[in-house]
Amino acid sequence: MKHSGSDSRPRGVAVSLAGLALGLIAWQVAGQRDPVLLATPVRSFEALAGMVADGTLPAALLDTGLLFLVGLAAAIAGGVGYGLVLSRSRVLRGSTGWLVFALQSVPIVALAPLILAAFGFGFGAKTLVVFLSAVFPILINTVEGARHAPKTLLEVAKVHRSGEWPLWRDVLIPHTLPYAMSGIRQGIAMAFVGTFIAEFFLQATGIGGLLLSASARFDSATVLGLTVLVSVIAALLMGLGRRLEKAFAPWRQGSTE
């Protein structure tokens, strides 16, 4: 896929960094012209540093992180688990497979007010939002993988009179794992979105809560700083997801290059 052409890597990184620096300078200049609407990077950084010093930012990060992790873990357990069940049961797949697709198209944001009304704004309700956001890509990818276990390998297992558990250990799980991992990669991104849905619309806690209250105060320095922070975290999470996806399929690495 990648047609590497002529861009050499170190030069590319240098240009990227120059682009970032340019953006920062532009931001600083613009911020100095209109300090009310657009805080300068320096002031945004100071705002973040202040929140680190008084402990609000670490506490919020912890809150957000916990919600994200618990919701994601539930989605992985549910998605991979039910995915594997679906892959082995024709009956369940035939009857509930299409429901998965139907439910997947319901936007979770829109459900937030209903979840709030029915289940309140406790940790459980917020976790539910994160879970619902992340579970579908994981589930769907897992089923896709398990359903397309290569026929020859199933024959190999049968010729060697493999039992059911060795069949899972040697064929189904290793084959499905990379599919599940790419589901989990998408799930990580979706869980992050879900975390903000929960913090914005159920209960203003964590980073989402800090963003909302700063926005209500028109504190553009804090909002801008937090927004940049969120985007950095999101990019890191995406990188992590890609790493994970690769790490779990070492036998594929050669073929993807």
Partner 1 sequence: MTALASRRNSREKSFAPPGDLLGKVVAVVVLLGVWQAAGSAFLPDYLPTPLGVITELIPTLTSSAFLTALGETVGAVLLGLVLGCVPGTAAGLLIGRVGWLRQLSTPYISGLYAMPMLAIVPMATIWFGYNNLTRVIVIALSAFLPCAVSTADGARSLPANLGDVARVLNVPRGRFVLDFVLPSALPFAVAGVHIAVGRALVGAAAVEFLANIDGLGTFILTNARSFAQNQAFAGVLVLALLGVLARAGTERLIRRVAPWQQTHQD
Partner 2 sequence: MSLHDRRKNATLTSPGRGGAAVTIDGVTMRFGDRVAASDIRVDVAPGEIVSVVGPSGCGKTTLLRAVAGLLTPSEGSVKVDGEAVDGTPDGVGMVFQHFGLFPWKTVEANVAYPLRLRGLPKEEIAARTRELIGMVGLSGFEKSYPHQLSGGMQQRTGLARALAVRPRVLLMDEPFGALDAQTAEVLRFELLRMWEERPITMLFVTHSIDEAVLFGDRVVVLKGRPGRVHEVIDVALPHPRDRAVARSEAFAALRERVWSLVMSPDAGQAG
Q: Which is nearer to partner 1, 38 or 80 (CB)?
A: 38
Please state the closest distance from residue 157 (CB atom) to partner 2, in A: 8
Q: From partner 1, partner 2, none, which one binds at residue 208 (CB under 5 to 8 Å depending on kind)?
A: partner 1
Cα 239 to the center of its chain, rounded Å? 10
Q: Which is nearer to partner 1, 113 or 166 (CB)?
A: 113
Q: From partner 2, partner 1, none, which one binds at residue 255 (CB under 5 to 8 Å depending on kind)?
A: partner 2
x-marked contacts with partner 2 along 144-183 as a string, rule CB under 8 A? --------xx-xx-xxxxxx--x---xx--xx--------
CB 249 within 8 A of CB 178: yes
Long-range contacts of 218-223, Cβ-Cβ distance < 8 Å, separation of 24 or more: 218/36, 219/47, 220/36, 220/37, 220/38, 220/39, 221/39, 221/40, 221/43, 221/44, 221/46, 221/47, 222/44, 222/47, 222/48, 222/51
CB 188 within 8 A of CB 72: yes
Q: How far apart are CA 141 and CA 22, in angstroms?
A: 40
Q: From partner 2, partner 1, none, which one binds at residue 249 (CB under 5 to 8 Å depending on kind)?
A: partner 2
Among 5, 10, 55, 254, binds partner 2 (CB under 8 A): 254
Q: How far apart are CA 75 and CA 82, in angstroms?
A: 10
Site for partner 1 in 225-254 (CB under 8 A): 227, 230-232, 234-235, 237-238
Q: How far apart are CA 64 and CA 69, in angstroms?
A: 9
Tokens describing residue 236: 């890191």
How far does the chain reach from its first CA to its final CA, in angstroms? 9
3-class state of residue 234 by DSSP = helix
Judged by CB under 8 A, does residue 157 bind partner 1?
no
Among 129, 181, 201, 202, binds partner 1 (CB under 8 A): 201
Among 59, 61, 69, 111, binds partner 1 (CB under 8 A): 111
> Using CB under 8 A as the criterion, which residues of the chain lie in contact with partner 1 when the complex forms?
1-3, 5-7, 11-13, 15-16, 18-20, 22-23, 37-38, 90-91, 93-102, 105-107, 109-114, 116-118, 143-144, 147, 189, 192-193, 196-197, 200-201, 208, 211-212, 214-215, 218, 220, 223-224, 227, 230-232, 234-235, 237-238
